[in-house]
Amino acid sequence: LTSKLPDVGTSIFSVMSQLAAECGAINLAQGFPDYDPPVALTEALVRHARTSGHHQYAPMPGLLRLREAISHKTAALYGVPAPNPDTEITVTSGATEALYAVLAAVVRPGDEVIVLEPAYDLYGPAIRLQGGIPVYVPLLAPDFRPDWNRVAAALSPRTRLLMINTPHNPSGAVLTAQDMATLAGLLDTTATLVLSDEVYEHMVFDGQPHYSALQHPELAERSFVLSSFGKTYHATGWKVGYCIAPPTLTAEVRRVHQFLTFAVSTPAQHALADVLAEAEQYQTLPTFYQHKRDLFTELLRNSRFDLLPAQGAYFQLARYHRISSENDLAFAQRLTRESGVAVIPVSAFYHDSHDQGLIRFCFAKRDETLQLAAERLCQV
Ligand code: PMP
Ligand code: GLN
């Protein structure tokens, strides 16, 4: 068999988690918390697991009560008209499935898709599997903000889709209302659609708001907006996310979703529907994660790592040029083996493995875990 993705190896997240397990290292690599979901959510799951009738296929677009809860939350949080649960909201198997379903639904062979790099590792390969052509526009260190002139220059009549991710993995960069207005202006006369990956919507620091593509009316008209309950409820293993898009776009996503997974775990959807109305849980997340960012920064103050600014998500980028001149993959692997802390080499977020001597730490960990990791990192 000739591979459809001959240049693609195993995802860096699997590779580094496996190495961390082999070495008994603290895993600050793959992005997941080492604490559990809120008790109200796990208790709700147990309750629904014990409820007769909650074990068969959910409706294809998602449980209606969960879509209604998503609709209410979105309207309340972003001050936008409530998305219609019947025609504008689809529950997916994590944001991962939503990403793939959107790309499969809209990208045709030869279509161009603009991707701002560094980018989540799925984007490029999933575009290419549709026969699409990723067109990469770099975000530049240290703040990884988009240069909209370069984005404008990358647009062509063949640009089917433009992908944004705010707050951004791996840099934590956050797009502003002005960014969204600029983007809307650039696309005004085009037929280009937007995929806005907002899985870290509740992790923005220093009092800055998260600005959703849904809040810009013209952008919302051409956007698929994705979120993930895995991030919001410390439950990455549940694999439940969703896509909000106008009815004509949602209809296309569902054409794919029905043949990709058909539906998502029924008891998990019931449990999430029970807790979603409690805004307090996600309202505390910015403070919760800002504390972790600040603690981790403080703990590494006397290390030889240089930390980059981190405005959102749950990642911290660092340069290690005062420690080593190895490439980032070699350094990440050696750090895991010799110092007992696993991290992600940022080159994994570039289609050409562009190496800038940068690694990514995930700080979604208990304070004790961050302390222990920092003790080790300060000795490097
Ligand atoms: N997009 C980004 C930017 C992510 O970081 C992640 C999670 N690593 C996903 C999508 C996938 O989300 P999920 O775990 O809900 O599939
Ligand atoms: N989103 C997570 C990260 O960036 C990993 C998800 C995965 O393992 N596929 O670390």
DSSP string, 197-217: E-TTTT-B-TTPPP--GGGSH
- Give the gyration radius of the chain's Cα atoms: 20
Cα(349)–Cα(72) distance, rounded to whole angstroms? 34
For ligand 1, the distance from its centroid to the CA atom of residue 20, given in whole angstroms, is 20
CA 199 to ligand 2: nearest atom: 1
Each domain of the chain, given as residue ranges in start order, spans 12-30+284-377, 41-279
Instruction: Name the 3-class secondary structure at 252.
Output: helix
pLDDT per residue as tens digits for the range 190-227 = 999 999 999 999 999 999 999 999 999 999 999 999 99
Residue 95, Cβ neighbours under 10 Å: how many?
Answer: 24
- Give the residues of the chain that fall short of pLDDT 50: none
Pocket test for ligand 1, best of 102, 116, 120, 314 (most atoms within 8 A of CB): 120
The answer to whether the CB of 70 is under 6 A from ligand 1 is no
Cα(141)–Cα(66) distance, rounded to whole angstroms? 39
pLDDT per residue as tens digits for the range 147-193 = 999 999 999 999 999 999 999 999 999 999 999 999 999 999 999 99
Domain 12-30+284-377, second-level architecture: Alpha-Beta Complex (3.90)
What pLDDT score was predicted for residue 168? Answer: 98
Whose tokens are 């790099």? That residue is 117
What pLDDT score was predicted for residue 294? Answer: 98
Please determine whether the domains at 12-30+284-377 and 41-279 fall in the same fold group of CATH: no
The answer to whether the CB of 122 is under 6 A from ligand 2 is no
Extract the tokens encoding 219.
């952008």
The answer to whether the CB of 240 is under 6 A from ligand 1 is no
ipTM score of complex: 0.98
Domain 41-279, second-level architecture: 3-Layer(aba) Sandwich (3.40)
The answer to whether the CB of 13 is under 6 A from ligand 2 is yes
pTM: 0.98
What pLDDT score was predicted for residue 333? Answer: 98
Pocket test for ligand 1, best of 30, 121, 228, 272 (most atoms within 8 A of CB): 228
Q: What are phi and psi of 286, to 5 degrees?
A: -60, -45
Question: Atom 12 in ligand 1: which residue has the minimum CA distance?
Answer: 95
Pocket test for ligand 2, best of 198, 236, 239, 360 (most atoms within 8 A of CB): 236
What pLDDT score was predicted for residue 28? Answer: 98
